[in-house]
Structure 1
Amino acid sequence: MDKQKYFISIGQGEISRIPYQGNDDFVIYATAEEILMLRRKFEGLHEASFDSYKRSHIPFVPYHLDTANDVYDETMAGVYQALYDLGDENTKNHIRTMGILDEE
């Protein structure tokens, strides 16, 4: 399958073929199957974010003992790994400078 160019906004959880209104935080090239995988990762990120939000209303749980935050962090790392794997050179460089992925 041919890879198409997509524009990604993590904050909005948006994947678009058309650049507009700042949705071009990252640029990737992906097949339809890879986009489906990325959409599922974004859905997982939304769920993990909501679970973390719900847990935040329970006081006195340190961050390092908070399973909801651990799930969110792992899910976010998975999103960035997928973007890195599919990204153009600018996307890869940007994610590298963030230092959030395990070094190969």
Structure 2
Amino acid sequence: MDKHKYYVSVHGRSVLPDKTLAAYEWEIYATPAQAEEMLLLMGLVQEKEEEAFPGYVFPWPDTPEQVVNVYYEDALNDVYQKIYELGSEDTREQMKGSGINAFLGL
């Protein structure tokens, strides 16, 4: 399948074919199936964020913050790894410059 350019916003949780539709952070080249996979990964981030929310509102004294965050961070790391994998040259350079790729072990 042919790959198309998509504009990704992790904060806005969007993967759009037109950069004028919303603000974006990253450009990727992906098949429609890969773009859909990216949306699913971002949905998982949302889900893990919501699951962790009670731990922030009603923290247990014996539960370290890292334990509360681990599933959310894992889901977010998966998103950034996929962005790096599908990213344009500019996207990869921006990720390298910001240190995201080193954080992910790429």
Q: TM-score, normalised by structure 1?
A: 0.87
What residue identity is the alignment partner of 1:36? E
Distance 2:56 2:89 in 1: 37
In percent, how many aligned pairs have the same letter?
A: 25
The structure in which a higher percent of residues are helix is 2
What residue identity is the alignment partner of 1:101? L
Q: Tell me, what secondary structure is at the counterpart of 1:8?
A: strand
Where in structure 2 are there 5+ consecutive unaligned residues? none
- Give the 4+ runs in structure 1 shifted more than 3 A: none
Q: Which moves more between the two structures, 73-82 or 55-64?
A: 55-64
Q: Which residue of 1 aligns with 2:83?
A: 83
Shift of 1:20: 2.3
- Counting matched residue pairs gives 101
RMSD value over aligned CA atoms? Answer: 1.5
Shift of 1:24: 2.6
Q: Is the CA contact (8 Å cut-off) linking 1:14 and 1:23 kept in structure 2?
A: no
In structure 2, relative to structure 1, the CA distance for the partners of 1:43 and 1:91 (3 Å cut) is: same
Where in structure 1 are there 5+ consecutive unaligned residues? none
Equivalent residue in structure 2 for 1:63, among 49, 65, 69 = 65
